[in-house]
Amino acid sequence: MVYSYKDILAELRREGYKITPQRRAIIQIMEATESHMTPLEIYSRTNSSSGISLVTIYRTLDTLEKAGLICQFNTQSGHTSYLLRRPRSHHHHLVCSVCGLVVNIGECGLEEVEERVSKDTGFKIVSHTLDMSGVCPECQKNNRQTLGRDFC
């Protein structure tokens, strides 16, 4: 499902949230980019023009998340937690460990794995995250070393 700017406003209204200039601005910024953004990144794109406070960014992101319109992503490599708008479909990320480039992967085909794990553990499996790490073509070309190490 694809959410447009209008869809998002409608959904917010439907859930009883008010449509403020700040929220409009934040949604438009997120609408304008395909990639993940930290609250601070959003802030830096909005700051000069409209004087929105960082607190409001945090609160709006929280609101949008509660409304199911965006979701969070925390990289395995650390404390940098990104936010992005809800993706068109289930997908995963492939990250270059040298330059940080993030590429989306569709089609994971993990249904059988989930089934097997469910049988083994008794868990009802609701979702999964799969992230791959490697070296992107560009970094391979430039022969830059990977920082990669086995994850736990």
Partner DNA sequence: ATAATAAGTGAAAGTCTTTTTCATTTAGCG
Partner DNA sequence: CGCTAAATGAAAAAGACTTTCACTTATTAT
Regarding 147 and contact with Zn ion (CB under 5 A), the answer is no
59-64, Cβ contacts within 8 angstroms, sequence gap of 24 or more:
60/22, 60/23, 60/26, 61/26, 63/12, 63/17, 63/23, 64/8, 64/12, 64/26, 64/27
- Choosing among Zn ion, its own copies, DNA, none, which partner's interface includes residue 126 (Cβ < 5 to 8 Å by kind)? its own copies
Regarding 147 and contact with DNA (CB under 7 A), the answer is no
Nearest C-alpha neighbor of 28 from the set 52, 15, 14: 52
The whole-angstrom separation of Cα 84 and Cα 99 is 20
CA Rg value for the chain: 18
Regarding 47 and contact with DNA (CB under 7 A), the answer is no
Instruction: Write out the binding residues for its own copies, residues 3-42 only, by CB under 8 A.
Output: none
CB of 142 to DNA, least distance (A): 27
Q: Which of 11, 47, 56, 84 binds DNA (CB under 7 A)?
A: 56
The whole-angstrom separation of Cα 107 and Cα 66 is 27
Binding site for Zn ion (CB under 5 A): 96, 98-99, 101, 108, 110, 136, 139
Applying CB under 8 A, the residues found at the interface with its own copies are 68, 71-79, 81, 84, 86-87, 90-91, 94, 96-97, 103, 105, 108-110, 113-114, 117-118, 120-137, 140, 146, 148-152
